[in-house]
Each structure stands twice: as C-alpha cells, then as structure tokens.
Amino acid sequence: MRGLGGQLSETRPEGARTPMRIIVAVVGLMMLTGIPASAQGEHNPLLPRPKKLTYGAGALPLAGLSIRFASPPSEEDFFAAQELARGLEERTGVRLPIAEREAGGPAIVLGRTGALDPLPVPGESPGADSREAYHLKITSSGGELRARSSAGIFYGAQTLIQLGEGRGKDAALAAAEIDDWPSLAYRGTMVDMSHGPLPTVAEVERQLEFLARWKANQYYFYSEASIELDGYSILNPGGRFSKAEIRRIVAYGRARHIDVVPCLELYGHMHDLFRVERYSDLSDLPHGTEFDPRNPKVAALLDDWIDQLAALFPSRFVHVGFD
C-alpha cells in the first residue's frame, strides 16, 4: 500500500511544524548516540556511523570529477546520482556532471550488482549481505560505490555527500573505504495526520527528504479520517488529503527508498465519522468514537475503506489501530 499528493493550503499555524521539529530531535539523538570524539575531529562526522570505516591518505578533488555508472542505469540509479550531485553542490558549491556513457577523467562510479529492490519487504534482516548494504571506496584517483540494490546505491550516495569537505576549488572527498549496512531492517517514523493543523504536501515531502538523508526506510502515515474516500464526500471536507495527493506522497517517498505505510484506525478514534448524522448509528453510542461490531453495516463500510486504501498505498505493510 502507498501514496502522495498536492497542496492543501500554504498558510498553517506555527503548530503545523511541530511534527518536523520532533523528527529532527529524534533523528538527531539517534544519530549522535555512540559516536566517538575521534570521528568528529579530522573529518566530517558520518551519520549514521558506518559499520566499517577506514580513512586513507589524501583526498579526491571535486574539480574535474564526474559521476558515472558501471552499467546502464535504471531510473532509481540515475535519481541517486542526481541526489549525489545536488547534495555535494549544496555542501561544497561544486556541481558534478553525470555521464551516462563512458567518459575520460576521474569519476565516482556507481555499480548496482543485483535487482532494484527499492523498498523493504516482510522478513528482511540486517547484515553485510543485506539488500541495503553498500561498499564505498574513495582514493585520490577516483571513487567506487557498489551495492546489490538501488536502495544500497542511494544510501551510499548519502554517505558520499557527507564525505565532501571544503568549498569551491578546495572541495574534495576524503579518501576512505567503507562497508556499511543499517543496524535495523525497518527504520520508520509515524506522523499523525489527524490531530492539529493538517500539514501541506510540501511539508510531508520535507519530512521525507530529511528522513532519507539518514537512511530511514518507512514513513507511517497515521490517519483516522484524513484521506479522501469515494462515497464519503461529507467526511472531513477541507481537512483531508486527496487521493492525488496521497499518490504524490507515496511516489516521493519511493524515489527516496522510503515506504509510505498506512497507519489506520479501523475500530476507535472515529469521532470524525460518527459526528456526521448519516454515520452516527455505526458507533457503539450515538455520535461516539468506536465502531459497533454488532452492526452489519460496519463490516460493509470497512471492506469499502480497506479496498480504497489498499489501492492508494502499494506497501507490503499496514498498521491497523485497534485501541
């Protein structure tokens, strides 16, 4: 199941930005925990800290450097190269060209050795041979990023960006050899889309962009009644994401190897539904908060909702709230 969409409104109360501040704080604590002082001295700290990291002598100047591919790139591989070029430009002021064909001169070569495997699936385990592992080697003459999947290539590119040091003519990549993989197979953040001001799609994309830098791979989209559903036009009009917006959010996350997972309430917390007179009799009490499981109309409604949400969110995962 998966999704994303367009804008709802550009003006939000200051409270609308609270989820982003929470994400920054949580990720910051996670990334800084356990990093030795030596890792922050001579070179930029790499966050999350790679499993195996050895710095070499010298550096690879960015001047005259390009980004190339070991084999014809997929759309996902090319996107990783674009993100690498953009990230290094932001950090150093130097924009690296992307060469789709063989070219002369020093280069960072991206090589994917297996299937795309862009998103997490059930049953994964972390480790050196996992889907998300990557190998990175930078010397004074060039660089190589090798991974089994497009996710590994993307994560290696995020680490490469952090290796950028200096600006302008002095910009370079620190010489290093890295073998890395996430400590956890599933690394997600849940964001509540049902309480307080509804974030714009641009704000959701900003959260996804931030989480992608730290190699998160799941974004739990918590909704009680904040997603447009066919046949329920009077449910939260003006306070929900359209189907087009959900599809846009899902696509934005997928490009960054983040699976947008629906986090749904299918029992309680349904006051937005039951306050509408047409649906009040589906509650345990009139205009209550919980479905009445004895009412046969409840099963029909939930079947309809699940079918529509499954079509929006292609994720292999779903979080069902039953509190």
pLDDT tens sequence across 254-313: 999 999 999 998 889 999 999 999 999 999 999 999 999 999 999 999 999 999 999 999
User: For domain 49-180, is the CATH number 3.30.379.10?
Assistant: yes
pLDDT at 171 over 50: yes
Longest C-alpha distance within the chain, in Å? Answer: 73
N-terminal to C-terminal alpha carbon distance within the chain: 22
**Cis peptide bond prior to 48, omega within 30° of 0:** yes
The CATH number for 14-23+185-316, chosen from 3.20.20.80, 3.50.50.60, 3.65.10.10, 3.40.605.10, is: 3.20.20.80
Rounded CA-CA distance 40/171 in Å is: 18
Domain extents in the chain: 14-23+185-316, 49-180
Quote the Cα angle for 214-222-21, to 5°.
45
Q: Is the pLDDT of residue 3 over 90?
A: no
Comparing 14-23+185-316 with 49-180, is the CATH topology the same?
no
Report angle CA 265, 268, 274 to the nearest 5 degrees.
100
Q: At 250, phi and psi to the nearest 5? A: -60, -45
Q: Give pLDDT tens digits for 4-19.
A: 333 333 334 444 444 5
Q: pTM value?
A: 0.87
Checking if the pLDDT of 41 tops 90, the result is no
